[in-house]
């Protein structure tokens, strides 16, 4: 028969989707009870995006400490596996890099799926050599050679400084940082930092690492050029535009919560983020969400939300409540941060008629802007119908054309047809006892 049984079954009390800071914190908190806890992540290692590679090459004491605590707590880690379907309540299916399928049988679920960068299309952004800011950092952490390469870091958000500092430490020649947010907003943000002394220290640390690298505020990339790969970036600041010769453009426009799996599971989403109560529970009982998926808040918010979710999911509400005050304090900082890095109106005119917006199907801005809705654009141009399922173009289109994101059709992530053949239901009891 063609119907297949899963290659492996994993049963746990608390299943955590995502091994970044929120997921790690949730795991440690949940393990403070007797619960069996598992983390599943698409990446080959723990740490998520911000702490990618920290287990192999420790650089951040805080990351090292959390990773140590997770390892010491006895948490099962399933790596290189992405969730693609929920065939029944309490059961998720994940496909592994090797093409195998794991059935994940759980009691409570904590979604800690993090965020992705928002990309905005401009002429030349599809050239090899143009990557996300976090994107280039992740690639370098994965071994991409960067020493001696000329890099322009651009876009918006606190990530830009961290990425620039990291790339510089790895030997890149960071030519400049172009932050679209205006100087006034950034100064106001800097003043706001006085309320968070810890953040000041981080900022000062970054400033030292970035000594000599120009930070241009109210400045953004308008075009990338080169033959078959990036050779130069055109930047604009006020009335002035100029070209910078470079090898890489690391460019991201702040972050967008990853909500696709939550939506697939029926959890409500508001303003692009998964809706949760004070115990991080979504609108679906027993499903919690923590970290960037609930709204962009940064590392500290993610760690606290992760702990709250971990405690709440394991009947330790007292410990969760003890973190509420700190959560509220960190959240104020996150709100300030998000206000600071709001996208400026001028960025809406970044794409020209011929600029591709959908990179999977090569759909130009001209073909999209006259469509009446996302669904019409999808049906009549195939925009967003490729393998990224709209994850890349969706955030851009929301900003450029004002169309709210559409729900992702199953599977929630592209998988092999064979992975959809798994017969789980009838054999579930049998599987669980193996």
Partner 1 sequence: MPDVVTLSVNGRTVSVEPGCTVAAAIARAGAVAFRRSVAGEPRAPLCGMGICFECRVTIDEQPYARSCQIVCREGMDVRTDD
Partner 2 sequence: MTFDAAIVGGGIVGAACALEAAQSGLRVVVIEPGVIGGGATAAGMGHIVVMDDSEAQFALTNYSQEIWRELAPGLPREIEYEECGTLWVAADDEEMDEVRRKQLFYEARGVSVEVLDAAALAEAEPNLRPGLAGGLRVPRDGVVYPPCAAMHFLAQAQALGVELRQGRAAVELSDRGVRLADGEFISAGATVNATGSWAPELTPGIDVQKRKGHLLITDRHPGFVRHQLIELGYLKSAHSISADSVAFNAQPRKTGQVLIGSSRQYGSNDPKVEAAMLRRMLARAAEYMPGIAGLSALRAWTGFRAATPDKLPLIGLCPGHDRLYLATGHEGLGITTSMGTAKLLVDQLLGRDSRIPAAPYRPDRKSEEATHA
> In the complex, which residues of this chain contact partner 1 (CB under 8 A)?
42-44, 49, 53, 56, 80, 82, 97, 99, 116-117, 119, 126-132, 134-139, 142-145, 228-229, 359-362, 386-388, 391-392, 414
3-state secondary structure of 356: strand
Site for partner 2 contains 380 (CB under 8 A): yes
Torsion angle, alpha carbons of 204, 208, 212, 214, to 10: -30
- Least distance (Å) from partner 1 to the CB of residue 353? 15
Which residues, in sequence order, are bridge partners of residue 250? 131, 153
Cβ-contact 306, 112 below 8 angstroms: yes
User: Which of 144, 420 has the CB closer to partner 2?
Assistant: 420
Of 71-130, binders to partner 2 (CB under 8 A) are 85, 87
Site for partner 2 contains 415 (CB under 8 A): yes
Binding mask 30-69 for partner 2 (x = CB under 8 A): ----------------------------------------
- Least distance (Å) from partner 1 to the CB of residue 292? 12
Among 379, 404, 407, 432, binds partner 2 (CB under 8 A): 379
User: Which of 185, 382 has the CB closer to partner 2?
Assistant: 382
With CB under 5 to 8 Å by kind, the binding choice for 143 among partner 1, partner 2, none is: partner 1
Among 144, 217, 385, 401, binds partner 2 (CB under 8 A): 385
CB burial of 121-150 (b: ≥16 within 10 Å; e: otherwise) equals bbbbbebebbbbbbbbbbbbbeeeebeebe
Site for partner 2 contains 420 (CB under 8 A): yes
Which residues, in sequence order, are bridge partners of residue 237? 219, 240
Cβ-contact 7, 101 below 8 angstroms: yes
Q: Which stretch binds partner 2 (CB under 8 A): 105-113, 168-176, 219-227, 383-391?
A: 383-391
3-state secondary structure of 299: helix
Site for partner 2 contains 425 (CB under 8 A): yes
Among 7, 13, 326, 423, binds partner 2 (CB under 8 A): 423
- C-alpha to C-alpha distance for 293 and 153, rounded to whole angstroms: 25
Element (H, E) at 270: strand 269-270
Both tokens of residue 208?
């030292």
Q: What are phi and psi of 345, to 5 degrees?
A: -55, -40
């Amino acid at each position: 028969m063609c119907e297949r049984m899963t290659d492996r079954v994993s049963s746990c009390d608390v299943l955590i989707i995502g091994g970044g800071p929120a997921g790690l914190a949730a795991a440690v908190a949940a393990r403070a009870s007797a619960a069996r806890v598992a983390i599943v992540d698409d990446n080959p290692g723990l740490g998520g995006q911000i702490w990618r590679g920290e287990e192999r090459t420790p650089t951040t004491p805080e990351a090292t400490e959390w990773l140590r605590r997770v390892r010491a707590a006895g948490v099962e880690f399933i790596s290189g596996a992405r969730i693609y379907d929920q065939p029944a309540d309490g059961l998720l299916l994940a496909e592994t890099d090797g093409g195998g399928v794991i059935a994940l049988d759980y009691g409570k679920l904590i979604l800690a799926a993090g965020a992705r960068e928002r990309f905005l299309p401009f002429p030349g952004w599809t050239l090899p050599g143009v990557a996300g800011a976090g994107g280039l950092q992740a690639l370098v952490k994965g071994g991409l050679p960067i020493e001696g390469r000329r890099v322009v870091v651009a876009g918006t958000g606190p990530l830009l400084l961290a990425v620039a500092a990291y790339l510089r430490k790895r030997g890149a020649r960071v030519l400049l940082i172009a932050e679209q947010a205006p100087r006034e907003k950034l100064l106001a943000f800097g003043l706001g930092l006085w309320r968070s002394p810890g953040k000041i220290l981080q900022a000062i640390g970054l400033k030292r690492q970035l000594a000599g690298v120009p930070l241009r505020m109210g400045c953004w990339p308008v075009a990338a050029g080169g033959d078959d790969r990036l050779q130069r970036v055109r930047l604009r600041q006020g009335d002035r535009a100029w070209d910078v010769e470079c090898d890489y453009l690391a460019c991201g426009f702040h972050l967008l919560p990853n909500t696709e799996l939550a939506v697939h599971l029926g959890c409500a989403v508001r303003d692009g983020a998964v809706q949760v109560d004070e115990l991080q529970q979504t609108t679906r009982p027993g499903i919690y969400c923590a970290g960037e998926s609930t709204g962009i808040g940064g590392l500290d918010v993610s760690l606290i939300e992760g702990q709250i979710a971990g405690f709440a999911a394991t009947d330790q509400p007292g410990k969760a409540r003890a973190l509420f005050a700190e959560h509220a304090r960190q959240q104020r900082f996150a709100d300030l941060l998000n206000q600071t890095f709001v996208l400026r109106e001028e960025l809406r005119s970044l794409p020209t008629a011929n600029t591709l917006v959908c990179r999977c199907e090569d759909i130009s801005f001209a073909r999209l802007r006259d469509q009446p809705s996302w669904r019409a654009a999808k049906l009549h141009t195939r925009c967003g119908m490729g393998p990224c399922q709209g994850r890349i173009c969706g955030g851009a289109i929301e900003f450029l054309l004002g169309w709210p994101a559409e729900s992702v059709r199953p599977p929630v992530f592209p998988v092999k047809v064979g992975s959809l053949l798994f017969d789980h239901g009838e054999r579930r009891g049998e599987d669980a006892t193996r």
